């Protein structure tokens, strides 16, 4: 049984995007249509810590078009051994801003939306409704 796709494909990939994602494009189950879907996808990551850090990096590298980051904390030195999206220079900075800068360093084609707040019962539906996944 095949499920319908969550996201419709974007109109086109630029020449630079075709070069960047060339290895995805030759995978039969991804191809041009799949890469266009990734470009059009809006994915929310709750937290830019131990699990969110590598997830954000891989999602950005894969070409997800919009990444939302929910994070209210600041980078602490004790975070650096497991939260690989942050660096020594980020200590004291907002984790959301640090993560955004790292994501854009990996892939400048990604649109990053920051939600610098705690995820709570009164904001969860508003935030989640802006994303596909």
Q: Residue 46: inside a domain, yes or no?
A: yes
CA 57/CA 63 separation, integer angstroms: 10
> How do residues 46-88 score in pLDDT, each as one tens digit?
999 999 999 999 999 999 999 999 999 999 999 999 999 999 9
Q: What is the largest CA-CA distance in the chain?
A: 49
User: Residues 93, 51: one domain?
Assistant: yes
**Nearest of 66, 82, 76 to residue 115 by alpha carbon:** 66
Residue 1 domain flag: no
Two tokens at 7? 């996201």
Establish if 133 belongs to a structural domain. Answer: no
Q: How many domains in the chain?
A: 2
117 and 106 in one domain?
yes
pLDDT reported for residue 9:
87
pLDDT value of residue 53: 97
Query: With 0-12 CB in 10 A as exposed, 13-18 as middle and 19+ as buried, what is 105?
Result: exposed
89 and 32 in one domain? Answer: no
Are residues 36 and 48 both part of a single domain?
A: no
Does 84 map to a domain? Answer: yes
85 and 122, same domain (yes or no): yes
Assigned token pair, 118: 């705690």
For CA atoms 125, 127, 12, 33, the dihedral sign is negative
> Which structural domain range is residue 105 located in?
42-128
* Its pTM surpasses 0.85: yes
2 within domain boundaries:
no
Average pLDDT over the chain reads 95
| Nearest alpha carbon to residue 50 among 78, 81, 92, 82 | 82
Q: Rounded to an integer, what distance in angstroms lies between the CA atom of residue 132 and that of residue 8?
A: 11
Q: CB of 116 within 8 A of CB of 95?
A: no
Same domain, 59 and 120: yes
- Residue 81 shares a structural domain with residue 92: yes
Q: In this predicted structure, what is the pLDDT of residue 66?
A: 98
Note whether 118 and 65 are same-domain residues.
Answer: yes
The answer on 51 and 109 residing in a single domain is yes
Question: Given this model, what pLDDT does residue 63 score?
Answer: 97
Instruction: Compute the average pLDDT of residues 26-54.
Output: 96
Q: What is the pLDDT of residues 98-127, one digit of tens each?
A: 999 999 999 999 999 999 999 999 999 999
């Amino acid at each position: 049984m095949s499920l319908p796709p969550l996201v419709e494909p974007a109109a086109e990939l630029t020449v630079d995007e075709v070069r960047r994602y060339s290895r995805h494009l030759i995978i039969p189950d991804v191809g041009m249509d799949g890469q266009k879907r990734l470009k059009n996808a809006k994915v929310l990551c709750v937290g830019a810590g131990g699990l969110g850090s590598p997830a954000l990096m891989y999602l950005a590298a894969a070409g997800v078009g919009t990444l939302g980051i929910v994070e209210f904390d600041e980078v602490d030195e004790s975070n650096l051994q497991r939260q690989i999206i942050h660096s020594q220079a980020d200590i004291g900075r907002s984790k959301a801003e640090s993560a955004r800068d790292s994501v854009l360093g990996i892939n400048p084609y990604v649109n990053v939306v920051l939600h610098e707040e705690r995820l709570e019962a009164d904001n969860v539906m508003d935030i989640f409704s802006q994303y596909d996944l």
